[in-house]
A and B are shown apart, each in its own frame.
Chain A
Amino acid sequence: MDQIITCINCPVGCRMSVSLSDNGEFLSVTGNTCPRGAVYARQECTLPKRTITAVIPVEGCRMPLSVKTSAPIPKELIRDVMYVLGSLHIHTPVQAGQIIIPHVLETDADIVATRNLP
């Protein structure tokens, strides 16, 4: 099984062809022009991850709170994380760096505030 992806490491944007076994294991990559491309291709085709940032409403405050995941989370969990964030009830004050949800959806990432809301 082959998958075509674009490398995101630099502006060259190599088109890479990744071979995967029938059960989704990484076999090989062609089309990359540097080692960073190979590392990205393996990660992206086996367990793609993203850092998610979002804004969430804060009770009694007009300004929303900006948050992020403290580490990249599996891409397939993005929607679920957004649902979790949408059901939160947060109160001021919040400090930048404060953990809002530890280990969100049992991942190794926390939801962390990225700004102060006094």
Chain B
Amino acid sequence: MTDRNIDILVIGAGPAGLAAAIAAREAGIQSLLVVDREKEPGGILRQCIHNGFGLHRFKEELTGPEYAQRDIDRAAELGIQIECSTMVLSVSPERCVTCVSPVNGFQRIQAKAVILAMGCRERPRGALCTPGTRCAGIYSAGTAQRFVNLEGVMPGKKVVILGSGDIGLIMARRMTLQGAEVLACVEIMPYSSGLNRNIVQCLQDYNIPLLLSHTVTDIQGLHRLEGVTVSEVDQNRKPVAGTEKHFGCDTLLLSCGLIPENELSLGAGVILSAATSGAVVDETFETNIPGIFACGNVLHVHDLVDHVSAESYKAGISAASFVRNRHDDLSYFAVADGTGVRGTVPQKIHRNVDCPVNLMFRPTGVYRNCSAVVECGNTEVCRKKSVIYTPGEMALITLKPEDLRNLTGSTLTVRIERN
């Protein structure tokens, strides 16, 4: 067993972990290590071979592997040490991390700061309570994406997709282009949470029907999937009798939402938010445990990797300044979700903050021509108009440090107001 002492340990070498590590090194932290359980850095971007990444950050459309490579190259340029095939087993509140790898065996690493950047995982079949047999041929969309794009194997030939999130839409196109037949994309809600671009370019381009207000109500097949029953649902999302349609298929892909992967965080005593399923953090992305920071999809699920990188870069800077001179200022504003708003991050802000703070949140419905308003008691702090707020797109409102001076209240509330 080895024992190491380092300044900053980053868990996860996806876009969040890489950006955080790059920021920490650029801020002068020499003793820095990134660990990842996969064989190569890059995280989920490695399997996202479609284009459309990086429009905000690089002003060009990159594929996932190309986006990841830019951060991997920058990390190499800065001499950042990345240890792959390394599985973290635990993180203690004192920031002692245990991990195993084939090369180093069991290690105990004591870090002055830990950055949690483990990403998220897909909601599995068990969480959907879909009736039917437990046959082979049912995969989460991301698992199928990994099979096709990284392992070079097709999971099946005739496919139904449940859920119309972006990963499901992207996989509808990928499966079609690589030779499978996609029979339908089935969505329980009356609208898709995917981007318009993906509905047009992944479904309509290939004449794949999008069945809104429908869900899978039965799964058939003894060993391998043989077919699924799809039914219409009413406004309470209950199946309507008599609307059943049968699809003969050998594969069912599930694209039904993402959940931050916080087992390690919980072990460290990090408090999670019920709204985001990620850590409760302040504007420096520090959790309730001093010196433990969280960023990227483990903190809250993002739509755009560009936002993940920007957020994680800030978390890396914060961790670096924590290592140098930890701040003991414990005077905060609490941040609360108001009408039309869910999952605002960060959940608290230092009262004497000296740089702009982005508040990120999910609208709870579709709001056209509305404003996002931040209030402290009866005082309006900030307001941002938008043509549309939708649940499918994370909204962002920026607070300037001067907005927060001379406020007497203790809670900042974010809400959506009709104009």
Question: Residues on A close to B: CB < 8 A?
Answer: 5-8, 10-13, 33, 50-55, 57, 62-64, 66, 68, 75, 78, 82, 96, 114-116
- Check A13–B51 contact: CB distance below 8 A: no
Chain B interface residue bracket vs A: 20 to 34
7 pairs of A and B residues whose beta carbons are closest in the complex: A66-B49, A64-B152, A8-B197, A13-B196, A115-B65, A114-B63, A8-B196
Q: In the docked arrangement, what's the CA distance between A50 and B176, Å?
A: 15
Provided the pairs A6-B199, A12-B387, A50-B205 are in contact, do residues A55 and B51 lie with their beta carbons within 8 angstroms? Answer: no
How many contacting A-B pairs (Cβ < 8 A)? 73
Q: In the docked arrangement, what's the CA distance between A11 and B353, Å?
A: 33
CB-CB under 8 A from A33, the residues of chain B are 387
Provided the pairs A50-B205, A55-B152, A63-B150 are in contact, do residues A114 and B178 lie with their beta carbons within 8 angstroms? Answer: no
- Check A54–B177 contact: CB distance below 8 A: yes
- Check A62–B151 contact: CB distance below 8 A: yes
Interface residues of B in 56-74 (CB under 8 A from A): 61, 63, 65-66, 69
- Check B152–A115 contact: CB distance below 8 A: no
- Check B149–A64 contact: CB distance below 8 A: yes
Question: Residues on B close to A: CB < 8 A?
Answer: 46, 49-51, 61, 63, 65-66, 69, 148-152, 177-178, 195-197, 199-201, 205, 368, 387-388, 390, 392-393
- Check B196–A6 contact: CB distance below 8 A: yes
Q: In the docked arrangement, what's the CA distance between A82 and B178, Å?
A: 8
List 13 A-B residue pairs with CB atoms under 8 Å apart, sorted by A's residue number.
Answer: A10-B196, A11-B388, A12-B368, A54-B49, A62-B151, A64-B152, A68-B51, A68-B63, A75-B205, A78-B177, A78-B205, A82-B177, A114-B49
CB-CB under 8 A from B150, the residues of chain A are 63-64
CB distance from B182 to the nearest CB of A (A): 15
CB-CB under 8 A from A51, the residues of chain B are 51, 61
Provided the pairs A12-B387, A64-B149 are in contact, do residues A53 and B51 lie with their beta carbons within 8 angstroms? Answer: yes
- Check B196–A7 contact: CB distance below 8 A: yes
CB-CB under 8 A from B152, the residues of chain A are 55, 57, 62-64
Name the residue on B nearest A86 (C-beta): B179
- Check A52–B49 contact: CB distance below 8 A: no
- Check A6–B177 contact: CB distance below 8 A: no
CB-CB under 8 A from A68, the residues of chain B are 49, 51, 63
- Check A12–B388 contact: CB distance below 8 A: yes
CB distance from A67 to the nearest CB of B (A): 8
- Check B201–A50 contact: CB distance below 8 A: yes
